[in-house]
Amino acid sequence: MKFYNSSSLNSKNISTVEILPILFFGGRLLFYLALFPTDLHGMGDFPNYFSVTSLHGLPFFNYWTEYPPLFAFIIEAIHIISQGNQFLFDFFLYILITTSGAISIWLFSRIASHLHTNPNDVVFTSLLYFGILAFISYSWWYFDLVVVCIILMTIHLLLNKKEKSVGLWLGIGILAKWFPLILFPAIFLFTEKKKFLKISLIAIGMVVFVWGCLYIFSPELTLASLKSQPSRNSWETIWALIDGNLVTGAFIPLEDRLDPSLINQHYGNSAKIPVWLTFVFFSGVGIFLMKKIKNLNKKNMISFMGITWILFFLWSPGWSPQWILYLIPLILLTIPIHKGLLTVFLLSLISLLEWPVFLGRQLFEGLLIFIIFRLIILIFLLTFWIKDILEKVYAIPDQS
Query: pLDDT tens digit string along 35-90?
Result: 877 777 778 999 999 999 999 999 999 999 999 999 999 999 999 999 999 999 99
Q: State the residue range of the domain holding 68.
A: 15-395
Give me the residues paired with residue 378 across strands. Answer: none
pLDDT bin (cut points 50, 70, 90) of residue 238 is very high
Within a domain: residue 210?
yes
Within a domain: residue 81?
yes
Percent of the chain with pLDDT over 90: 76
Within a domain: residue 138?
yes
Residue 187 corresponds to which amino acid? I
Instruction: Indicate the pTM of the whole model.
Output: 0.94
Closest CA to 167 of 201, 192, 119: 201
Closest CA to 199 of 177, 171, 175: 171
CA dist list (Å): 135 to 27, 130, 139, 321, 352: 11, 9, 8, 15, 12
Within a domain: residue 65?
yes
Say if residue 19's pLDDT is above 50: yes
Query: Residue 5: its pLDDT value, please?
Result: 42
Tell me the angle at which helices 275-293 and 367-392 cross, rounded to the nearest 10 degrees.
Answer: 20
Higher pLDDT, 336 or 360: 336
* CA 75/CA 143 separation, integer angstroms: 10
Phi, psi for 140 (deg, rounded to 5): -135, -5
Poorest-pLDDT segment among 107-121, 177-191, 258-272, 315-329: 258-272
Say if residue 399's pLDDT is above 50: no
Say if residue 221's pLDDT is above 70: yes
What is the tens place of the pLDDT at every residue in 144-196? 999 999 999 999 999 999 999 999 999 999 999 999 999 999 999 999 999 99
Phi, psi for 63 (deg, rounded to 5): -155, 150
* CA 22/CA 18 separation, integer angstroms: 8
Query: Residue 197: its pLDDT value, please?
Result: 97
Closest CA to 1 of 332, 299, 341, 347: 341
Within a domain: residue 288?
yes
What is the chain's mean pLDDT, rounded? 91
Within a domain: residue 149?
yes
Within a domain: residue 372?
yes
- Please give the tally of structural domains in the chain: 1
Say if residue 3's pLDDT is above 60: no
Query: Residue 40: its pLDDT value, please?
Result: 76
What is the tens place of the pLDDT at every residue in 77-133? 999 999 999 999 999 999 999 999 999 999 999 999 999 988 889 999 999 999 999
Query: Residue 251: its pLDDT value, please?
Result: 63
Say if residue 272's pLDDT is above 80: yes
* CA 312/CA 308 separation, integer angstroms: 6
pLDDT bin (cut points 50, 70, 90) of residue 231 is confident
Query: Residue 224: its pLDDT value, please?
Result: 93
Within a domain: residue 4?
no
Query: Residue 1: its pLDDT value, please?
Result: 35
